[in-house]
Amino acid sequence: MFRVLCFALVACCDAQSSLPGFTSSFSESAFKRGADFLVPAIIDHIKAIVIPGVHGKFFQIEPIRFDDVSIGSYDVSAVPGQGLRLSLQDVQNSIAHTKLSIGGGFLKCTGEVWAFAKGGAFTAMNTIVVDQDGTGQFHVEIPPGGVDAGDVETHHKMDSWLCEVQADAFHVINSVIIDVVKKEIAAHFADILSRIISEPVNLFLHELQQPPALGFGKEKFNLDNSYLSVSYDGKRITHSHKGEWKSTAHPQESSLQPGDLPASAGRDVELAFSDYTLNTLFDALFAEHIGEEELRIPFVKTIFDKECSGCPLVIKSKFGKAARQSFAGGKSAVRIQDLSLSIGALTSASEVLPMVTLSVNASAGVAFSFTETTTNFAIKATLSLEDFTQALMVSHIGEIELSDLSRVVKTLLSSVLDKINTDIPALPIPTLGKAKLGSPAVVISEGSMVIEADVVLPSTADSVVLV
């Protein structure tokens, strides 16, 4: 029984630790709209293919080029358990007139050959392949039978009627051209998709997995956003990430466990954060004693003026516990407990006169706003003091009226938050090729925050990607 209990506990912990702290989810409908821009690029790349010349025993064909390519219909769909499928139907193309020679010596004949193809169908499966280190890379796979060049019809015209008779005898030329065209299209299709899509997609994946480090003083903190899994269920592609912050100087695995993230609300783009993700950042900040340096507050009128008239105040902070982020009831809040505040006054001789030492518990609301950038949007967090309690631990200036002290603490805490708001940069949201986000919004639910937005496609087909 003991062994069974131990196994159950281990299984429970393993299952919980596999939950993501962050997910990035994209709707199938966004990719369907993106295909309107992707398909013209595919056509241009197919038209640019140059098929090497063919040198047979009794004939030679110069390099073959496509004169025209068209795609009748296309579709993109998320296939559960497989990937994002791109289907091109009713593909037609024409082969440009190409130099042809038959025989040799005095019997050599020259002319032209050309061809038409119709009824082609191409299928590709786009997936994010995750390796054992949690790194995701874009991958294009052509399933068996995924390239059907359709029915190819060849024509030739020789430079003389005698050569025309000779060319008619070489029916093998037709089959050679048909085989070459089909093989070259099949060989190039995956490469074309990779060249069009891989670069912007892998850049986007890199930004998701390794966003810029956050700097606080001399220390920096990295987000370990390695992949846990990728899902193609529910007509969406959803990337699940670890979402854990670590110090670059002393990286440590967090003992916290993420909770469940909400189901999709159906927007084109949904970036979901668990409170776990931000709490791992607070743990890392606490371990590195970030925010415990002295902070000088310009002169504000307080009860300490009679001790040092017109003197700026100096605040020394020491955290007894890491701050805690909570998302609940449509609100985001940060709770700080067991914060020691030593308040002093800076004299004209640059000496700090100690005034009081307080133990403070405080709660700050967090509001989120968006600013438009040249490439996309950035999100900015702004803290505002909601409530606090304080206990006087040490007074160097005798008895103090608690109501007066409360007003001072409120003023100082608000000043500290104003300084933090100034120092916190707006964080850029990763871009998807040349596509941008529209109508972004923040939705707060129990234990999570979701950034939702529409995908706004460019007016021209420069670079739209499938991820």
**Could you give all domains of the chain from N- to C-terminal order, each with its CATH number?**
27-206 (3.15.10.10), 213-456 (3.15.20.10)
- Comparing 6-15, 233-242, 334-343, the range with the smallest average pLDDT is 6-15
13 phi, psi to nearest 5 deg: -65, -40
Q: Does residue 414 carry a pLDDT above 70?
A: yes
Q: Sorting pLDDT into bands at 50, 70 and 90, what band is 168?
A: low
Dihedral in degrees, nearest 10, Cα atoms 274, 276, 277, 279: 130
Mean pLDDT of 259-283: 92
Of all residues in the chain, the percent with pLDDT exceeding 90 is 44
Cα separation, 259 vs 253, in Å, equals 17
Evaluate whether 288 touches 247 at the Cβ level (below 8 Å). Answer: yes
Contacts of 453 (CB under 8 A, 6+ apart): 267, 268, 269, 377, 437, 438, 439, 440, 441
List the one residue out of 32, 142, 146 whose CA is nearest residue 89.
Answer: 146
For 297-306, the CB contacts below 8 A with 24+ separation are: 297/412, 297/415, 297/416, 300/411, 300/415, 302/407, 302/408, 302/411, 303/400, 303/401, 303/404, 303/405, 303/408, 304/343, 304/345, 304/355, 304/397, 304/408
Cα separation, 332 vs 443, in Å, equals 10
Mean pLDDT of 55-67: 86
Enter the DSSP assignment of 431: P
Dihedral in degrees, nearest 10, Cα atoms 213, 214, 216, 221: -60
Q: Please, what is the Cα angle at 297 between 296 and 302, to 5 degrees?
A: 130
377 phi, psi to nearest 5 deg: -125, 155
Evaluate whether 258 touches 252 at the Cβ level (below 8 Å). Answer: no
User: In angstroms, how far is CA 159 from the centroid of its own chain?
Assistant: 59
At 398, list the tokens. Answer: 């005798």
Task: List 8's β-bridge partners, or say none.
Answer: none
pLDDT in tens, 78-110: 999 999 999 999 999 999 999 988 876 667 888
- Comparing 22-26, 216-220, 324-328, the range with the smallest average pLDDT is 216-220
Q: Does residue 15 carry a pLDDT above 60?
A: no
For the chain, give the mean pLDDT.
85
DSSP H or E run through 22 = strand 22-27
List the one residue out of 378, 359, 347, 364 whose CA is nearest residue 453.
Answer: 378
List the one residue out of 195, 201, 229 whose CA is nearest residue 48.
Answer: 195
Say which amino acid occupies 20: P
Residue 170: its pLDDT value, please? Answer: 58
Residue 104: its pLDDT value, please? Answer: 67
Evaluate whether 136 touches 129 at the Cβ level (below 8 Å). Answer: yes
At 424, list the tokens. Answer: 């916190």
- Comparing 162-166, 198-202, 285-289, 440-444, the range with the smallest average pLDDT is 162-166
Q: Does residue 411 carry a pLDDT above 50?
A: yes
For 291-300, the CB contacts below 8 A with 24+ separation are: 291/216, 291/317, 291/319, 292/316, 292/317, 292/318, 292/319, 293/217, 293/317, 295/416, 295/419, 296/346, 297/412, 297/415, 297/416, 300/411, 300/415
List the one residue out of 159, 157, 91, 77 whose CA is nearest residue 124.
Answer: 77
List the one residue out of 269, 319, 313, 281 whose CA is nearest residue 295.
Answer: 313
